[in-house]
């Protein structure tokens, strides 16, 4: 996390860690741009959505295009050396909580291989209909930073991370802005800014 480009939640987590707060071991996966470029995803996915957005949205074509876009992401490949480096970095560690930076929804992974698959599934989820409509007229997301966070035990998928009001207050004072801190087993894993992210 120390070498990651810092903005949004990544910056807040790094600042909290520097201030001595109990931030969980976190790896920042910033491979989306390279992955998308090498697999020509912007052009391929752009073609899928031709004719979807006009005077009005063709809902049927939107649903089909979104499914095909998700499939295109899932079936595309990382450079072998990137996948190997990812797996080597996480070797012997786990389990993991895998989520997009600035978002609370996460996937669980018991080992590095599952974490790698979870990263690709999170990238694919950027092409859910709701996500596409949220960022329209931009069809293609510019950055999809994913956080891989080691935990001692896997939290449940629903209601796993807990808001810690006392830690939120301490962290807000230390950072000089109002934030909400989420923890699992006493470890800080997520910081939500009231300004978004």
Indicate whether 30 and 12 sit together in one domain: no
Structural domain tally of the chain? 2
Indicate whether 132 and 192 sit together in one domain: no
pLDDT reported for residue 2: 60
pLDDT reported for residue 4: 59
- CA angle at residue 17 from 114 to 164, to 5 degrees? 80
Q: Is 61 exposed, middle or buried (0-12, 13-18, 19+ CB in 10 A)?
A: middle
Residues of the chain predicted below pLDDT 50: none
Indicate whether 62 and 146 sit together in one domain: yes
pLDDT reported for residue 51: 87
How many residues in the chain? 197
Q: Are 107 and 121 in contact (CB under 8 A)?
A: yes
C-alpha span between 190 and 40 (Å, rounded): 32
Q: Are 166 and 150 in contact (CB under 8 A)?
A: no
Predicted confidence (pLDDT) per residue in 67-119, tens digit = 999 999 999 999 999 999 999 999 999 899 999 998 888 999 999 999 999 99
Q: Helix 59-74 to helix 112-125 angle, to the nearest 10 degrees? A: 160
Reduced DSSP (H G I as helix, E B as strand, rest coil) percent helix, strand, coil of the chain, to 5 = 45, 20, 40
Indicate whether 193 and 144 sit together in one domain: no
Indicate whether 141 and 183 sit together in one domain: no
pLDDT reported for residue 46: 93
Domain residues for 185?
Answer: 1-24+158-197
pLDDT mean across residues, the chain: 91
Q: Are 189 and 182 in contact (CB under 8 A)?
A: yes
pLDDT reported for residue 155: 79
Show the beta-strand stretches assigned E in the chain.
26-29, 96-100, 106-109, 146-150, 162-163, 179-184, 187-193
pLDDT reported for residue 62: 93
pTM attached to this predicted model: 0.88
């Amino acid at each position: 996390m120390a070498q990651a480009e810092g903005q949004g939640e990544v910056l807040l987590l790094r600042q909290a860690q520097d201030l001595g707060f109990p931030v969980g071991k976190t790896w920042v996966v910033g491979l989306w741009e390279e992955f998308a470029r090498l697999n020509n995803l912007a052009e391929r996915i752009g073609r899928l959505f031709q004719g979807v957005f006009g005077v009005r949205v063709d809902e049927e074509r939107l649903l089909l295009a979104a499914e095909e876009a998700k499939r295109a992401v899932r079936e595309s490949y990382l450079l072998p050396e990137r996948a190997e480096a990812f797996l080597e970095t996480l070797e012997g560690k786990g389990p993991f909580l895998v989520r997009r930076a600035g978002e609370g929804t996460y996937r669980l992974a018991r080992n590095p291989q599952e974490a790698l698959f979870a990263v690709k599934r999170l990238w694919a989820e950027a092409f859910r209909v709701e996500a596409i409509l949220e960022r329209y007229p931009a069809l293609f997301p510019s950055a999809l930073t994913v956080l891989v966070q080691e935990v001692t035990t896997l939290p449940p998928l629903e209601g796993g991370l807990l808001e810690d009001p006392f830690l939120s207050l301490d962290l807000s004072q230390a950072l000089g802005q109002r934030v909400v801190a989420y923890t699992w087993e006493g470890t800080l894993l997520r910081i939500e800014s009231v300004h978004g992210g």
